[in-house]
Amino acid sequence: MSRRQRRPALVGLGVLSVLTGVVVFLFATEFFPHHSSNHDEGVYLQQAALLLDGQLWFHSPVPDAVRPWFFVQDGSRLYPKYSPVPAAVFALGVLVDVPRLSLALVAAANTALVGLVTTEAFDERTGLLAAGLFVASPLFLVQSALFLPYAPTTMFNLAFALAYLRACRGETRRSRRRYSALAGAAIGIAFFARPYTAVLFALPFMAHALVTIGVAWRRDSTDPQWFGVDRSVVERYTLIGTLGLVFVGVALLYNAVVTGSPLVFPYQRFAPMDGPGFGVRRILGYERNYTPELALRANRLVLQRLLGHWTAAAPLGTIAAGLGLAGLLERARNGVSLPEPGALTDIQIRSIVAGLLVTVPVGNLFFWGNLNILAALDDPSDGLIALVGPFYHFDLLLPLSMFGAAGLLWVGDSLRAFVERRSTARIANVVLALAVVLTLAVGGIAEQSAVSAPLEKSEPYTERYEQAYEPFEDRSFDRALVFVPTPYGDWLNHPFQSLRNDPAPGGNVVYAMDRDAESDFRTLEAYPNRTLYRYTYRGEWRPVFDEFSDPIDATLTPLAVERGDRQRITYRVGRVAGSETATVRLDGPHGAVQYGVERLAGDNLTVKWTVGKGRAEVVDDGLNRYSDQRAVGFENAADLTLTVTFTQAGGSTVTYRQEVAAAETDDGVAVIWPPENRVCRLVADCGNEGTYLPGADDYVAGVSLSQDIETVGRDSALAD
């Protein structure tokens, strides 16, 4: 086909690619405004900010208080467990303050590359249709809208594939060299991004390369030879191999700089038993004995979900790909010629790409991540796979799209030929048009169903974060320190991905984990002279796989550090309707003191208590102390808890819980004020779901709360 004849198809592919980038940008903005349930997105965005600041890690005087999700803590250093390549891609958008621009560019590039690789294997119309099927795959659409490494790594893999094919088919020695160098660089960068993924993708091409070298070595040739092989073949694979190894070397150098050993990747430093292989696999206390039998079962379910739900208009796209593969097998039965230097045939390209349907699934058997994206093996429609797809198999979209396009065109051409044999060309066109319309209608319904399923599952997640981030809307900080709750353990950005620190924590706002008193006071000491806040919420923060049914109420409370010889605290709580008795309890690290209320009079109960240097006690006027101990002691810093429990008729209880972080000072005591307050029924140890918010209308009748503090001795350090 002439260049003029090819131009419309290439223009069409270019237009489709640009439109795809726009669609992905809008899709990501609309459906994932607060990112997805895969909290690795925050890791890559944090890493992108580090790279733009010229850093591979950041230091903190309190690294355990500001450690982001999936970061390795090495002394005062904190560095991500992931390769910097995907983050470098995302940094392009972060640089211009439009992070999702990177997602759009990657999506557009992948679309164009799928079309061009398919064109090399078939023709322009097949390439354009393959790009369309690729874009129509829910897995592509969802993953391309997320700050995760799978789409960027595939971009480099596809660039390698296209460059490799053109290096083999180049018309001039110069073009073959150029594409060989590009192929080597692309697969080397892909290896740096995700080594195992790149190897699985490259294996069919490596197999072709070895066969080509073997054939070239055995054949008689009048062309110039090196080591008994045609010089063009030696040049091609030397360039590919050299440039590939250069970036492998860069990856190993990165390891040496970050982890101290070129052969230890950061993810291994984070979790040594998290890599490929069978046996005991472990990460963050979660452990499984990953057997071959378990691998086969899990991967079978993952592939079923991919082929039945995550391809274009599933399962129609999968069926079409099967028809396209059937055509390849039919050609293979008639014999496939061995590779010739500079004479790569279409059928050989198709065979190489079809090899991905073997290497990617087989290679993934050895990786237990495919087990972990399934919440339960007996329900493959649940878990992370239901929300963001079978992302470890993202590279399979190339062969599925390529052969899907070939299968659809074969069906269309066969139908047209069949009708033309039995009618006029005009009738054949009408029949074919009706078939296309029917196919589009059925495919559209299937596509809508496939795309809507993960979006419906993600909608409650997005709504939850709309509620969670409400206190931060239209708010700017000026040298602030914000304590953040840790519902999933001692991590930042898990689950609050958007509350990320600057590359060097110390900018206008520092986010730190709100943990125990000792940690919080160390954080205050590390970041002095800041406006203080505590971010908290009322409600239960369930794991990402649960349905978020109950809303949460989030709040951002200004704090102060009160310092003095002694702190006098007055705690007034409303008498719960129907209550007949009450108890008061003061807990510290060295015991507790409990009191009974001699009489309940009026609508409120007031409890006064004091905190001094290493000592806290209740002023027991009107209270009946149940032990000889009058006070609770503490050293350095401690959380002191005062609880007031009302017992209603029938035995039901309502507990007020006031938690004060206190620390000894040279001259007395410091407390963080106001303390955290919770109100809960039936239990005394309230979680975040019991966080007290004034004005809430779902408390038991009579519930109310107020508190005051009086500092004796020194001035207080108030927050602005």
Cis status of the peptide bond prior to 674, with omega within 30 of 0: yes
Residue 500 token pair? 């990320």
Q: How confident is the model at residue 351 (pLDDT cuts 50, 70, 90)?
A: very high
Strand order of the β-sheet with 566-574 is 631-633, 615-619, 604-612, 566-574, 705-712
| Whole-number Cα distances in Å, 57 to 113, 191, 266, 269, 505 | 33, 21, 12, 14, 11
Inter-residue contact 714 to 567 (CB < 8 Å): no
Q: What does the chain come to in residues?
A: 720
Q: Please tell me whether residue 561 adopts helix, strand or coil conformation.
A: strand
pLDDT at 121 over 80: yes
- Residue with token string 């970050």: 258
pLDDT, tens digit, 9 for 90 and up, residues 481-521: 999 999 999 999 999 999 999 998 778 999 999 999 999 99
- Residue with token string 């169903």: 449
Residue 328 token pair? 């390849």
| Residues in contact with 209: Cβ distance below 8 Å, sequence separation at least 6, in sequence order | 237, 240
Q: Would the pTM count as exceeding 0.75?
A: yes
pLDDT, tens digit, 9 for 90 and up, residues 429-462: 665 566 555 555 555 655 666 677 778 878 888 8
- Report the interhelical angle of 173-193 vs 84-95 (nearest 10°): 100
pLDDT at 224 over 90: no
Inter-residue contact 552 to 464 (CB < 8 Å): yes
- Residue with token string 């064109």: 119
Q: What is the pLDDT of residue 562?
A: 95
| Residues in contact with 96: Cβ distance below 8 Å, sequence separation at least 6, in sequence order | none
Ramachandran region of residue 279, left (φ > 0), alpha (ψ -120 to 50) or beta? left
Q: How confident is the model at residue 282 (pLDDT cuts 50, 70, 90)?
A: very high
Q: How confident is the model at residue 533 (pLDDT cuts 50, 70, 90)?
A: very high
Q: What is the pLDDT of residue 341?
A: 57
C-alpha 297/C-alpha 304 separation (Å) is 11
Q: What is the pLDDT of residue 669?
A: 96
pLDDT, tens digit, 9 for 90 and up, residues 407-423: 999 988 887 777 666 66
| Whole-number Cα distances in Å, 125 to 5, 20, 156, 331, 455 | 11, 18, 24, 20, 32
C-alpha 537/C-alpha 485 separation (Å) is 8
Lowest-confidence pick of 72-86, 153-167, 411-425, 696-710: 411-425
| Residues in contact with 121: Cβ distance below 8 Å, sequence separation at least 6, in sequence order | 346, 349, 350, 353, 402
Where in the chain are the domains?
3-34+81-446, 470-560, 561-712
C-alpha 480/C-alpha 441 separation (Å) is 55
Q: Residue 105 is which amino acid?
A: L
Average pLDDT, the chain: 88
C-alpha 514/C-alpha 537 separation (Å) is 13
| Residues in contact with 343: Cβ distance below 8 Å, sequence separation at least 6, in sequence order | none
In what helix (H) or strand (E) does residue 289 lie, and over which residues does it extend? strand 286-290
DSSP string across 316-381: HHHHHHHHHHHHHHHHHHT--PPP-TT---HHHHHHHHHTHHHHHHHHHTT-THHHHT-SBTTBTT
Among residues of the chain, what percentage have pLDDT more than 90? 66
pLDDT at 46 over 90: yes
| Residues in contact with 487: Cβ distance below 8 Å, sequence separation at least 6, in sequence order | 495, 541, 688
Over residues 689-715, mean pLDDT: 84
| Residues in contact with 656: Cβ distance below 8 Å, sequence separation at least 6, in sequence order | 571, 573, 643, 644, 645, 677, 678, 679, 692, 705
- How far apart are the two ends of the chain, measured CA to CA in Å? 73
pLDDT, tens digit, 9 for 90 and up, residues 558-568: 999 999 999 99
C-alpha 163/C-alpha 202 separation (Å) is 12
Lowest-confidence pick of 97-101, 226-230, 576-580: 226-230
pLDDT, tens digit, 9 for 90 and up, residues 643-665: 999 988 778 889 999 999 999 99
Inter-residue contact 323 to 402 (CB < 8 Å): no
C-alpha 495/C-alpha 241 separation (Å) is 42
- Is the four-CA dihedral 516, 519, 524, 527 of positive or negative sign? negative
pLDDT at 463 over 90: no
In what helix (H) or strand (E) does residue 633 lie, and over which residues does it extend? strand 631-633
C-alpha 480/C-alpha 527 separation (Å) is 9
